[in-house]
Amino acid sequence: MKNTVFRDMAAMAFRNLSRHRVKTIITTAAVAVSVALYIFMDSWLLGINLESRRNIVSYEIGAAKIQTPAYFDKKDEQPMYENFGDWESIAEALDKAGYASAPRFVFSGTLYSRAGTAPMVFNAVDAERESRVLRYPGYLEAGRFPTSGKQETAVGTLAAEKLRVGIPRRIARTEFENDLLAAGTTEEERAFIAGLYQPAMSQRKAAKLFSGTASNTKDTDTLVLKKDVAPSERDRLWNLLAATGRMDVRISTVIDIKAAPETIRKEKFENDLLPSLSDAGREAVSGAYTLNGDTGEYRLATTDQRAIDAALAVMLDADYAGAIRHVNQLIDAVVVGVINSPNPKTNANVAYLPIDALQDESGLMLGGRVTELLVRAADAKDTKLPDRRESAESIDTALRTNGVDLSGRGLAVRGWIDYVADYIAASAQDNISSRVMIIFLFVLSFIGIANTMLMAILERTKETGMLRALGMTDGQLVLVYVLEAGMIGAIGSMVGIVIGCAINIPMVAYGIDYSGLSEELSGDYGYRVVAYFRSAWNPIIIGVSGIVATILAAATAIPPTLRALKMPVTDSLRFE
């Protein structure tokens, strides 16, 4: 019997929606817009985050990195002196355990080309192993990946553009004539080069239309590389340009080496170094150094390697800058490729070069040492994020099982998420700001419903009195009004879900082109998505947003109904 009462209450509530159709429609529309925007925003953030995470793992880090803990602590400075050797035994153990690994020596420096300079992060890699862990070596906009043993480098597109190396995608006409056409030594070569480019006008118009970013009217003399240029034509152009020296670059870096200093000035030794050490540390350092009265300097006085190592370790622990020796180094190289992967970090001011070409004195004197070993499951799928098997703990355990104790070697393995604080920050900030915006919108639309219900209940005070006189209980009256508001919420939610999903369909399939933003910020904006920010379906949130909107809408009817029920029935009946 109670079911029939509920059904009739619901029928009455539904009929009540028709009393003020315009108001009901406006309120419903407000709920629909809120729900649709929430679904759109959530799907978009989810899509960007999923793609960013996949791109971080597939193009930038892998599932985890093995480094010294000290390197991790100072990783933003790329402290090349925090390196380790015998990575091959670790790689072998990882191979046995079903993990692929790639050694890297990361260092910073400046890259000079004929036309410019750029501060860079250099990744010295083993091309073959790198390809097992990361996918960017397959994303060459032009040229090829550096060959083992050669002083070659591949750079990111942004660096290539800044340094004017590689094949320009856009180029000013004067520069085109001076730099590119001049690379042709015969008429035929010049005609070949000229035939690869076209005026940028049509693209600019399109860009203006669709993104509104290309508004530089002075750019009329810009040429763009045609989209249908064949790979063989690209290679030929590359070779012609390379012959002019366009691809020749010079790496300038400082080799940092941990070494106990030969001499330390007296004041520095006594006033800076010693006070920063423990008693044992002071003993170790004082035992290794003696004061030279003539020069006023402390000199390394022992030849006992163990004593020197102990003193060095103490100084490094105390972050004594003098324990790092700096050696300037210039390395000549040739740019052989331009990287343009879906992860903007790989396309920024980054250069990749063969690690085996940097081993001796013409390189970085690495002596087989690396700063990190990237790890990914050998059978990992690019579409999937690392699972438990690829966690730092699992990798560490697998290594132990195969006879490698990382902590015993002064190393540690950390999961990829520990390395992407910039992405986490961008994602968290976007999440918060977007959700605050949507919650604000929700609040506005629910103020609308609350107002609609307040007016409706006030207007029906007399009717409420009559219903109470007929024997309707307070609970039944609350139910009728809650159902009425809930129906506004439910209809609005359903419409919102339909609109949200309709927006999501193209957003999931095509996304929004943010390549302009990516270039503008040199790929340094946290998210690891180059061009298209695509949404991703999130059925749980779609359902939950509809349910929450309905419940919130229903709840808005409770306060005015309770207020109306406080009024004596007789007063309600007299209410005009």
Partner 1 sequence: MTVVKTVDLVKDYRLNGIAVNALRGVSLSFESGEFAAVAGPSGSGKSTFLHLVGCLDEPTSGTIEIEGTSVAARTRKDLALLRRRSIGFIFQAYNLIPVLTAQENVALPLTLLGTDPWDAKKLAARALAEVGLGDLGKRRPKEMSGGQQQRVAIARALVKKPALILADEPTANLDSKTGKEILEIMLQLNKSEGTTFIFSTHDKMVMDYARRLILLKDGTVDSESVK
Query: How far apart are the C-alpha atoms of 106 and 470, rounded to whole Å?
Result: 82
Residue 569: CB minimum distance to partner 1, A: 4
Determine if 568 is a binding residue for partner 1 (CB under 8 A): yes
Residue 15: CB minimum distance to partner 1, A: 4
Of positions 327, 425, 432, 469, contacts partner 1 by CB under 8 A? 469
CA-nearest of 469, 444, 419, 460 to 569 is: 469
Residue 550: CB minimum distance to partner 1, A: 22
Q: Candidates 7-15, 131-139, 152-160, 434-442: pick the segment binding partner 1 (CB under 8 A).
A: 7-15
Of positions 19, 74, 226, 326, contacts partner 1 by CB under 8 A? 19
Q: How many residues bind partner 1 (CB under 8 A)?
A: 28
Helix (H) or strand (E) holding 351: strand 350-354
Query: How far apart are the C-alpha atoms of 297 and 302, rounded to whole Å?
Result: 15
Determine if 570 is a binding residue for partner 1 (CB under 8 A): yes
Determine if 563 is a binding residue for partner 1 (CB under 8 A): no
Residue 571: CB minimum distance to partner 1, A: 9
Q: Candidates 8-16, 92-100, 208-216, 501-509: pick the segment binding partner 1 (CB under 8 A).
A: 8-16
Minimum CB distance to partner 1 smaller for 356 or for 463: 463
CA-nearest of 114, 120, 400, 387 to 251 is: 120
Minimum CB distance to partner 1 smaller for 230 or for 470: 470
Burial class (CB in 10 A: 0-12, 13-18, 19+), 220: exposed
Query: How far apart are the C-alpha atoms of 416 and 50, rounded to whole Å?
Result: 14
Minimum CB distance to partner 1 smaller for 60 or for 484: 484
Contact of 523 with 515, CB cutoff 8 Å: no
Minimum CB distance to partner 1 smaller for 14 or for 510: 14
Query: How far apart are the C-alpha atoms of 10 and 479, rounded to whole Å?
Result: 8
Query: Where in 471-500 is the site for partner 1 (CB under 8 A)?
Result: 471-476
Determine if 46 is a binding residue for partner 1 (CB under 8 A): no
Residue 16: CB minimum distance to partner 1, A: 6
Of positions 478, 503, 531, 569, contacts partner 1 by CB under 8 A? 569
- Which residues are bridge partners to 172 per DSSP? 222
Contact of 54 with 65, CB cutoff 8 Å: no
Minimum CB distance to partner 1 smaller for 299 or for 462: 462
DSSP state of 80: T
Both tokens of residue 328? 């300037």
Query: How far apart are the C-alpha atoms of 59 and 419, rounded to whole Å?
Result: 13
Of positions 22, 230, 470, 540, contacts partner 1 by CB under 8 A? 470
Determine if 461 is a binding residue for partner 1 (CB under 8 A): no
Both tokens of residue 96? 């046995």
Minimum CB distance to partner 1 smaller for 306 or for 566: 566
Determine if 1 is a binding residue for partner 1 (CB under 8 A): yes
Residue 53: CB minimum distance to partner 1, A: 53
Residue 462: CB minimum distance to partner 1, A: 7
> 3-class DSSP state for residue 294?
coil
Both tokens of residue 321? 């800058």
Determine if 248 is a binding residue for partner 1 (CB under 8 A): no
Query: How far apart are the C-alpha atoms of 140 and 148, rounded to whole Å?
Result: 17
Minimum CB distance to partner 1 smaller for 142 or for 477: 477
Query: How far apart are the C-alpha atoms of 385 and 392, rounded to whole Å?
Result: 14
Of positions 2, 21, 218, 381, contacts partner 1 by CB under 8 A? 2
CA-nearest of 144, 77, 66, 150 to 102 is: 66
Burial class (CB in 10 A: 0-12, 13-18, 19+), 383: exposed
The mark string for 416-455 relative to partner 1 (x by CB under 8 A, - otherwise) is ----------------------------------------
Please give the torsion angle defined by the CA atoms of residues 162, 167, 169 and 170, in that order, rounded to the nearest 10 degrees: 60
Query: How far apart are the C-alpha atoms of 519 and 492, rounded to whole Å?
Result: 40
Both tokens of residue 124? 């010295």
Q: Candidates 112-120, 369-377, 425-433, 459-467: pick the segment binding partner 1 (CB under 8 A).
A: 459-467
Determine if 253 is a binding residue for partner 1 (CB under 8 A): no
Rg over CA atoms, the chain: 34
DSSP string computed for 173-202: HHHIIIIIGGG-SSHHHHHHHHHTEEESHH
Minimum CB distance to partner 1 smaller for 459 or for 520: 459
Residue 572: CB minimum distance to partner 1, A: 9
Determine if 191 is a binding residue for partner 1 (CB under 8 A): no
Minimum CB distance to partner 1 smaller for 12 or for 194: 12
Determine if 12 is a binding residue for partner 1 (CB under 8 A): yes
Residue 460: CB minimum distance to partner 1, A: 9
- Which residues are bridge partners to 110 per DSSP? 119, 252
Determine if 567 is a binding residue for partner 1 (CB under 8 A): no
DSSP state of 146: P
DSSP state of 84: B
CA-nearest of 433, 432, 437 to 34 is: 437
Determine if 466 is a binding residue for partner 1 (CB under 8 A): yes
Of positions 65, 345, 468, 534, contacts partner 1 by CB under 8 A? 468
Long-range CB pairs of 235-240, under 8 A, 24+ apart, other chains included: 236/192, 237/167, 237/192, 237/193, 237/196, 238/142, 238/143, 238/166, 238/167, 240/183, 240/184, 240/189, 240/193
Determine if 412 is a binding residue for partner 1 (CB under 8 A): no
| Cβ neighbours of 476 (radius 10 Å) | 15
Residue 537: CB minimum distance to partner 1, A: 39
Determine if 462 is a binding residue for partner 1 (CB under 8 A): yes
Residue numbers of the site for partner 1 (CB under 8 A)?
1-2, 4-5, 7-8, 12, 15-16, 18-19, 462-463, 466-476, 568-570, 573
